[in-house]
Structure 1
């Protein structure tokens, strides 16, 4: 078929049909088409050939609408003729989008963290599994100030190689058995919201005696002249659990209170949100009485080291089973130091010691070969009642004091608690960035103490709570360091600092009302349950407390239960 010419094609069209679009029916103004619009409408580009790519960068059209919807008329719109970024590295476009400033780690947050990593905000102080260390070694790290996780230089990182750091899985202080019944599971976030204001407490009775504190230890801390060797002084010391205390048994028979505990046990419960390591308490309900006990072999008697540090001491493994800087070895070392240090800082004079109203409740000279340590046991009562309670709810706690000292102003006796912080090796893993005490304690005392507050938040909080419970006038903190960082058997005392317990609690942001709220909550749960035995366990890897109902024979000396309870001690040996 021969090709058709243009003229033939036009001629073949039906009459009346024309080329091109149909005639426009739009409204015109002076011959110019227009569309009606509102003054509130935003004016943008007439044509944006790069909109698809730009929307992908911003997260799509919804993201674009969300970012721009709150702007005033005409603000924040891009020009129709964008300048494309050149290859010159020093040239960049200015981003005029609005960002919402937020505090914290959310998208769009402008917070930037510098230097070595630190722990983020915690709703569960001490819960290791809930932390994320911010920043890495060297360089400035943080969230991109324009939102999102920054990549490359300046982008946020979770610390040096935190992305491939293995999760630390600690062992529980006690293993839950199949016949244990889980009653409650309480996370630290809930515990930290509790609050109960109580009175100062009242003294019921006191036992034992106290030697006077040796003021020569108060010389300039850190100075070479104030250093002295830590000596081994064998004295009989006791840490009897609540149910075995004969004085508490007598007070319970007289119906003096509903809840009974010791300061060592009660401080652990009150400072639970700061704890990281696993621990457990045994709660016995007998009639309308509650006895909060510790089991035999419990780690409550052990003094932890750098429990709250950003990089805590590493757990023992097959290759480092006997490492001197493992948590178990450091706990044993710190516990020995806190046994010897108070004995050395008092003047043992039989003519000037302070006798309490009653003799020592646990010392039996016929059975002991060592003389008793300077110790006063004060039994004090606190009112935990609420307005809605039909009957008052009282708690009796056995507290301890270590020494007495004369006030320089009026000559009155002031009661002391004496504790010791220990330095193992400020260059070793697990030191938590601690300063060298020998060189910094004299010149940077505040920085040394602040670092210890961070690395040992739970331990110092417990000591402070114990001092407040005992109504002590002062709390003495000794700084004890290894003579050689590679040997945990020889130590030197670098100095002693004194603090008023309540002022020290304020420096640590320690809220006593929160601690009393925790005690009252646990007591209420147990009072609603039938008589029996209960075990409260802190999860070893999560900021959670679990309350179990257990058989009455649990932790009795029947071999199997005790082997489970003493597992941690066997490892220490």
Structure 2
């Protein structure tokens, strides 16, 4: 078998230059592949058709010198022509069409939820920070207020600014309850800060004195317990009489003093004022009579206005106390008058006045006038033994106490009531909380705020209930219909408290209260028989004991009696 011949192809040699020879007649139809001087010798093939990698510095040296190699050798590149027209889908089913409007709504919903979450987180963080800041500010204000109070109130501040600690919204100084005259001599000064350290333990509960119980008590209306903010009840204007007979004019006390029952006499509100003296801020005064070996705590006759002892102060111990006297309806005097009439109407409205009540031993007190009608208040005369006094004799205290109503207890027992009412005038100015938003859900917080802002008044109410031996205290929450008017009020709620338990809740120590009273009694019993005045200083925590000349305050009382007799003659 013959082997195939191996022949070498003929190669053209260009001896006159570089590159291929000029095309011949047989090679005319053969296209000429362009070449580039930047091509590197020894490279078999450039599959990517781009050669830009040889540079000098940051310049494209090869492109600048020999042209771009991006288009070199592109004659034989494959072009995908008409591929889009020849393409066919393998899956002939209809594609799933989505509603773009629905997708847009879903995205918007997700965005709103994310924004709401961010806003909630931001508000929660701000609220927590604001609450911490408010508590811190309240503590600082309370601390500053106590310091300011210990340094003499706003008397010193008024000399530098326009009317007190916060500028022109405060008076320069609080006025005394009675103007001190030059002929009055100061016998003793009692520091109220030292009163907090006094204690007289082992004082037993008071006992009723014989049959000296007077008045008729109406039964409590249980439907008043269902009052809430949503179903509030308007406060009615209930007709009635209010008796504020002083100690020395009380015929029952005169009878007891003459018969030798007790040697110290007073009413519950007068003694409660003395026993809670460290809590008071405003000025008050009490007249003390030393007659023989007996002592009578009395009050001045202030004609047609309330005595400072009987005044129901409003926001007295608040850090935002109202101006003592000034224009408008929210000064201290007008607020006290408003609180007094609210309490009188509230205690009459919450009992069944049209039904027969519970009669005590005597249906009417000797000082009550038959023509004037019933007062709705019962009086019990009680006695306590406070140990031996400065003269070695026992100190026997006789007190006229008051009760406001009765109710049937859970065991069908009869319970006596002391009925009082808080009043809301303007929470934005009083430093309190809005009752209409907080009372139903946070009654404890509302109560705590009222105790803080009215510490002296609440303590006196509690002591009156303890001295009277009351079983229960009924507290009401009465607010203005409009903060700009004092004419119309509504009852927003009621609450029961036990006097002894409530005393411990407000840090009212009975041993300390008895110790304060005993200290005042001893200070008065050391003096010779005569007439004296105990006055709380309006600017500092001090009680001063003044000796009064004979006939002091008698002219006011005589003129008042003359006016009453003239009125009777005219009738």
- 1:184 matches 2:188: yes
- 1:272 matches 2:270: no
Structure 2 residue ranges without an equivalent (≥5) = 1-133, 155-163, 561-571
Other-structure match for 2:316: 307
Q: CA deviation at 1:561?
A: 10
Q: CA deviation at 1:527?
A: 1.2
> Which of these residues, 208, 223, 227, is aligned with residue 229 of structure 2?
223
**Cα RMSD for the two superposed structures:** 2.5
Q: CA deviation at 1:481?
A: 0.2
Q: CA deviation at 1:362?
A: 4.3
Higher helix share: 2
CA separation of 1:443/1:471 partners in 2, compared to 1, >3 Å: closer, same or farther? same
> Which of these residues, 549, 552, 565, is aligned with residue 550 of structure 2?
552
Other-structure match for 1:284: 289
CA separation of 1:195/1:168 partners in 2, compared to 1, >3 Å: closer, same or farther? farther
Report the Cα distance in structure 2 between the residues aligned to 1:164 and 1:426, rounded to whole angstroms. 20
The question of whether the paired residues in 2 share the 8 Å contact of 1:120 and 1:131 is answered with no
Q: CA deviation at 1:313?
A: 0.5
Q: CA deviation at 1:476?
A: 0.7
Report the Cα distance in structure 2 between the residues aligned to 1:386 and 1:301, rounded to whole angstroms. 30
The question of whether the paired residues in 1 share the 8 Å contact of 2:252 and 2:366 is answered with no
**Secondary structure of the corresponding residue to residue 260 of structure 1:** strand
TM-score of the superposed pair, with normalisation by structure 2? 0.68
Other-structure match for 1:518: 516
Bigger radius of gyration: 2
Report the Cα distance in structure 2 between the residues aligned to 1:163 and 1:366, rounded to whole angstroms. 51
> Which of these residues, 120, 124, 132, is aligned with residue 143 of structure 2?
120
CA deviation digits over 1:367-394, x for unaligned, max 9? Answer: 42xx313211010101111499732211
CA separation of 1:268/1:486 partners in 2, compared to 1, >3 Å: closer, same or farther? same
> Which of these residues, 258, 265, 269, is aligned with residue 260 of structure 1?
265
> Which of these residues, 242, 251, 254, is aligned with residue 256 of structure 2?
251
- 1:381-530 equivalence runs, <5 A: 381-386=383-388, 390-408=392-410, 410-428=411-429, 431-432=430-431, 434-530=432-528
The question of whether the paired residues in 1 share the 8 Å contact of 2:274 and 2:516 is answered with yes
Other-structure match for 1:374: 376
CA deviation digits over 1:378-426, x for unaligned, max 9? Answer: 1010111149973221100000000000012x20100000001000111
Q: CA deviation at 1:167?
A: 7.2
Q: CA deviation at 1:162?
A: 5.2
Q: CA deviation at 1:122?
A: 9.6
The question of whether the paired residues in 1 share the 8 Å contact of 2:219 and 2:351 is answered with yes
Report the Cα distance in structure 1 between the residues aligned to 2:298 and 2:288, rounded to whole angstroms. 6
Report the Cα distance in structure 1 between the residues aligned to 2:389 and 2:556, rounded to whole angstroms. 45
- 1:43-58 equivalence runs, <5 A: none
**Secondary structure of the corresponding residue to residue 417 of structure 2:** strand
CA deviation digits over 1:257-292, x for unaligned, max 9? Answer: 110000010100000000000000000010001000
Q: CA deviation at 1:552?
A: 2.3
**Secondary structure of the corresponding residue to residue 522 of structure 2:** helix
Q: CA deviation at 1:239?
A: 1.5
